[in-house]
Structure 1
């Protein structure tokens, strides 16, 4: 289960202390914070919330201080392609690498029925965060498969 709630599609890999997540947040126009921000911006809450179509890559590396950046050029079809390649890697039952452009390289290794990952994250130009690598502990393979399939269905 994801420790983040974005309201839109999310592909979360890790646990609540170390994770990488590909998300497309959706703002709720009824949320008090959104309403206040919209008022401050001089627009309606619905206009402020917008269509929720900008993807982001979020990370947290054991300190509770999450980070992330927007991926404005990413489209749903590319997110789905990443998920399909991740599924194919998991089906191979051998170490594999899947990339999401220049910002994410995900290396998966089987550990029995579970999987461990090393995520190499390189923020795009203009983001002030450093490149980082993070290691997940073993993650149940069956849960990963179910999460990826749920992610793919959420893109429709």
Structure 2
């Protein structure tokens, strides 16, 4: 819980789990963030982890593969209001953005001038019993996917 929270030009790479999650926050601005998980090397078909690394879901893993990277959502606004994600680059192998609203509404969302690579896209997820409203998406580039289902919006 909080208010008037800003992330500016923050880079996160190879996180073993969710990256940025807000819960019950009024006023969230994420501007120019960069999230890269798994790194592009791990997305090459047939990629194998180096000897001595642990390609598993156990934290902290020291190597990731498309098969082992799970729950690496990029930006998850939950039960939050007045949320902006702009001018950002997200490549996660999971949801780039997963909007959640369990136990409270998520509303007044703006996603502008973002680039999503390798992952699921922007999801209004299964945890939305509190309701999601007033969302705008503009100038979103989506490239690459991690399954036959492709990217979603």
TM-score, normalised with respect to structure 2: 0.24
Greater helix content: 1
Greater strand content: 2
Between structure 1 and structure 2, the one with the greater Rg is 1
TM-score, normalised with respect to structure 1: 0.24
